[in-house]
Amino acid sequence: MQFQLTSQYKPTGDQPEAIKALVQGLNEDVSYQTLLGVTGSGKTFTVANVIAQTNKPTLVLSHNKTLAAQLYSEFKGFFPHNAVEYFVSYYDYYQPEAYLPTTDTYIEKDLAINDELDRLRLAATSTLLSGRKDVIVVSSVSCLYGMGNPEDFNSTTIDIKTGQTIERDRFLRLLVDSLYSRKETVDFNRGNFRVKGDTVDVFLSYSDCIIRVIFWGDEIESIESIDPLSGVTIERLGAYRIFPANLFVTTKERIFRAIDEIQIDLGKQVEFYQSIGKPYEAKRLYERVSYDVEMIKEIGYCSGIENYSRYFDGRLPGTRPFCLFDFFPDGFLTVIDESHVTIPQIRAMYGGDHARKTNLVEHGFRLPAAMDNRPLKFEEFESLARKIIFVSATPADYELEKSEGIVVDQLIRPTGLLDPPIDVRPSLNQIDDLMEEIQLRVERNERVLVTTLTKRMAEELTDYLSHNNVKCNYIHSDVETLDRIRIMDELRSGVFDVLIGVNLLREGLDLPEVSLVAVLDADKEGFLRSHRSLTQTAGRAARNVNGRVIFYADKITDSMQKTMDETNRRREKQIKYNDEHGITPTQINKQLSSSSLIKQAPATIEPKAYIEPDFELSVAAEPQAKYETIADLKKEIERTRKAMLDAAKKLEFLEAAQLRDVLIKLEDRLKNK
């Protein structure tokens, strides 16, 4: 099936040129391309058009769950008739196993799995192995972590069709081999099956429907898709393929072989510890691994079974684990969103995991094979992702080098807004000058962002401005999730006019009311004043028609010069386009606490121009109520916990984090009663 792009919008500005260039590059077998798109220019729409025209299965990589959910929502809207899947870590909470030698502290693994995210992961892998080519998987970097062998996953699928001859009990055994569990209770949920006479109901682990298989003797009489809530038949099927209930599925032969290999390696490692004078580590390892082996023999599973994945996969020592890339067909496309952030994250994943596992292995908590349960190394990632489009407003050196300096620009916004001009002013009396600029913005009912180099400076500047009757607040990493979003909302609504922070270039920080971004000590070279950081920070004023940026500095550094040159280049192109098409830059009006897409473009612009949606999450209220009894407090704790889990199920991760902060405060209050 071909990709069918469904949208009321059409490419405008420099989108047609960007689409043509990227498609041409893919057709000419170019391995790496970079799309340099400013905020609000419709980068996602451009990528959607590229996918539709090239018809390649596509993996879209994002650096966190929330942005991945936003991209999933957009692509789902663009391709309603194709398979758009969502693949992120299925943990609501995860504390990895670790050992701290300095304090002799062992930290046991602790986790909470989100069933809905688990279902979406299974749906993604099942769709990829179904043979469909019209598949888009939006994922976080968790797709680089180890998974089950796709050959085992595929070999344990169950193909059934009406009229097929198969014993009912044989069919039940196949379901068990695919890790489905028999459950006859009222609480019938995903990953289970139940039997009533000649009728077998299978609640698919990767879908929200039940497959009902009705037998007549040893023959399948009918196959139906059933709504799990109403029990009503959705459709009758001639054939169906049932995929396994878990990604980590294997065969019995592999389990027996793995147990033998584990015991052999255990004997070698215990002997090694004893030979170097570490009897305590030898005893610890023998007890832990022997217990795990007994658990695998008895129930087929043990805590931390992923540390033995090399044996179950049949891999040689040091070889990479299977991952989501292995489920994709040949010739797939990889799109890396916000590549300047995502690529460093991919690079760092292996190092952090390796350091933690090394301590566990050296002190007898795990066999050396645990080192092979890991994320991909960066070189392995490069070898698997053969066709990559980097998407970023500030591509890093790696992306530019891989693209051989060829960058596809997308600088025109459908709203006609320009990148804000940049002024450089001396740092002498910078606070007095800043206060004058703030006053001008306050008179126009606009907002100001100020970036400092340290948290302490942000707090002290907030105190100083407050004493001078400037309504302001600060934000940095010590501020809780709940308070951060509340502060953003209060800035937009006018509770205060100035927001001061250390690093305000977070992706998704779109504040149309902000018309001034002031960067203090802009000439202090470093991470916070690098070319990319300055460009990202300056972009925070790009959604206001009066947007302006001020760099307070005593000299112009290379980073400042690059930022100003890039801004001037973008402005020249944007102004020229506006003049040629008679476009007047129009202010974006975004409702407070609204998650809806912007429905209309300004009248001066082509009516079908696509404007990137602004995603805004609702703010959970701070627990201010006073609970007279402990019972009332416990009831509120349970209510908040349920709301948190519901938000996580709906993929509203920031809202879930806010509710988690509320829950922690309530639990602390309960302890103090």
DSSP 8-state class, residue 274: H
Asked if the model's pLDDT at residue 604 lies above 50, the reply is: no
Predicted local confidence at residue 508, as pLDDT: 52
Tell me the three state secondary structure of residue 441: helix
- pLDDT, residue 656, reads 81
Which two structure tokens, joined as six digits, stand for 98? 């670790």
36, β-bridge pairs: 392, 409
How high does pLDDT run on average in the chain? 86
**CA 419/CA 665 separation, integer angstroms:** 42
C-alpha 211/C-alpha 240 separation (Å) is 9
- Asked which of 333-347, 407-421, 556-570 is least confident by mean pLDDT, the reply is 407-421
Helix/strand number for the chain, H first, E second: 19, 25
Helix 430-443 to helix 455-467 angle (10° resolution) is 60
Q: What is the pLDDT of residue 654?
A: 76
The confidence score (pLDDT) of residue 207 equals 87
**pLDDT tens profile 299-311:** 777 888 889 999 9
C-alpha to C-alpha distance for 349 and 613, rounded to whole angstroms: 30
d(CA 243, CA 279): 46
Query: Of the given ranges (52-66, 292-306, 492-506, 615-629), which has the lowest mean pLDDT?
Result: 615-629
pLDDT at 595: 33
Q: 353 phi and psi, to 5 degrees?
A: -65, -40
CB-based contact 2:79 (threshold 8 Å): no
Of the candidate ranges 132-141, 163-172, 325-334, 536-545, the one whose mean pLDDT is the lowest = 536-545
Instruction: Supply the angle between the helices 43-54 and 65-78 in degrees, to the nearest 10.
Output: 50
pLDDT in tens, 147-182: 888 888 888 899 999 999 999 999 999 998 888 988
For residue 375, pLDDT beyond 90: yes
- Measuring CA to CA, which residue among 47, 196, 65, 225 is closest to residue 143? 65
464: phi then psi, degrees, rounded to nearest 5: -65, -45
Predicted local confidence at residue 609, as pLDDT:
60
* pLDDT of 16 above 70: yes
Give the span between the Cα atoms of 78 and 52, in whole angstroms: 10
Q: How far is CA 177 from the centre of its chain?
A: 32
Other CB atoms within 10 Å distance of the CB of residue 33? 24
- State how far the Cα of 535 lies from the Cα of 566, in Å rounded to an integer: 8
Distance of CA 409 to the CA centre of its chain: 25
Q: What does the pLDDT look like over 195-232, one tens digit per residue?
A: 999 999 999 988 888 999 999 999 999 999 998 888 88
33-71 pLDDT tens trace: 999 988 778 899 999 999 999 999 999 999 877 788 888
Q: What is the DSSP letter of 306?
A: G
Question: Confidence band (pLDDT; 50, 70, 90) for 611?
Answer: low
Categorise residue 331: left if φ over 0, alpha if ψ from -120 to 50, beta otherwise.
left
3-state secondary structure of 473: strand
Q: Which amino acid is at 45?
A: F
pLDDT at 619: 37
Q: Would you say 245 and 178 are in contact if contact means Cβ atoms under 8 Å apart?
A: yes
Cα–Cα nearest to 447, from 471, 431, 464: 471
Q: HSE on the CB side for 139, CA within 13 Å?
A: 25
- Phi-psi category of 288—alpha, beta or left, where left has phi over 0 and alpha has psi -120 to 50? alpha
Share of the chain above pLDDT 90, in %: 51
Helical packing angle, 558-581 and 531-538, nearest 10°: 40
Closest CA to 503 of 523, 486, 527, 521: 527
Pairing of strands 219-226, 233-237: antiparallel
Read off the tokens for 533: 């950081």
For 622-662, give the DSSP string. Answer: P--PPPSSHHHHHHHHHHHHHHHHHHHHTT-HHHHHHHHHH
- N-terminal to C-terminal alpha carbon distance within the chain: 62
Q: What is the pLDDT of residue 601?
A: 33
Q: Mind listing the pLDDT tens digit for each residue in 267-288?
A: 999 999 999 999 999 999 999 9
Residue 182 carries which DSSP code?
E
Q: What is the pLDDT of residue 58?
A: 96
For every residue of 484-547, DSSP letters joined together read HHHHHHHHHHTS-SEEEES----TT---TTEEEEEETTTTS-SGGGSHHHHHHHHGGGTTSTT-
DSSP 600: -
Give pLDDT tens digits for 77-119: 999 999 999 998 888 778 889 999 999 999 988 888 788 888 8
Kindly state the greatest CA–CA separation across the chain: 91
CA 195 to chain centre: 39
Do residues 578 and 602 make contact, with C-beta atoms less than 8 angstroms apart? no
Q: How far is it, in rounded angstroms, from Cα 613 to Cα 508?
A: 10
Of 414 and 544, the one with more pLDDT: 544
Predicted pLDDT of residue 254: 84
Q: Which residue has the higher pLDDT, 235 or 652?
A: 235
Q: How far is CA 467 from CA 462, 494, 512, 537, in A?
A: 9, 18, 27, 27
pLDDT score for 617: 41
In the predicted model, what is the mean pLDDT of residues 470-499?
81
Residue 600 has pLDDT above 90, yes or no: no
pLDDT value at residue 186: 66
pLDDT digits (tens, 9 = 90+) for 511-520: 888 999 999 9
Q: How many other C-beta atoms lie within 10 A of the C-beta of residue 596?
A: 11
Q: Are 606 and 412 in contact (CB under 8 A)?
A: no
Of 470, 473, 547, the C-alpha closest to 514 is 547
Looking at the predicted structure, is the pLDDT value of residue 557 above 90? Answer: yes
Which is higher by pLDDT, 190 or 32? 32
pLDDT at 497: 93
Q: Under 8 Å CB-to-CB from 551, ≥6 apart: which residues?
A: 422, 423, 424, 425, 519, 522, 523, 534, 560
The length of the chain, given as a count of residues: 673
Q: What CA–CA distance (Å, rounded) separates 340 from 345? A: 9
Q: Report CA 377 to chain centroid distance, whole Å.
A: 19
pLDDT at residue 126 is higher than 50: yes
Q: What share of the chain is helix, strand, coil (3-state, %, to 5)?
A: 45, 20, 40
What is residue 652's predicted lDDT score, i.e. its pLDDT? Answer: 76
What is the pLDDT confidence band of residue 510, given thresholds at 50, 70 and 90? low
Answer whether 426's CB lies under 8 Å from 370's CB.
no
For the stretch 185-195, pLDDT in tens is 767 888 899 99
Over residues 535-548, mean pLDDT: 88
In whole angstroms, how far apart are CA 68 and each of 4, 63, 75, 481, 652? 21, 8, 10, 19, 11
Asked whether 547 and 509 are in contact (CB, 8 A), the reply is no
| Contact predicate 75/84, CB 8 Å | yes
* Nearest-angstrom CA–CA distance, 131 and 230: 31
pLDDT cut 70: percent of the chain above it? 92
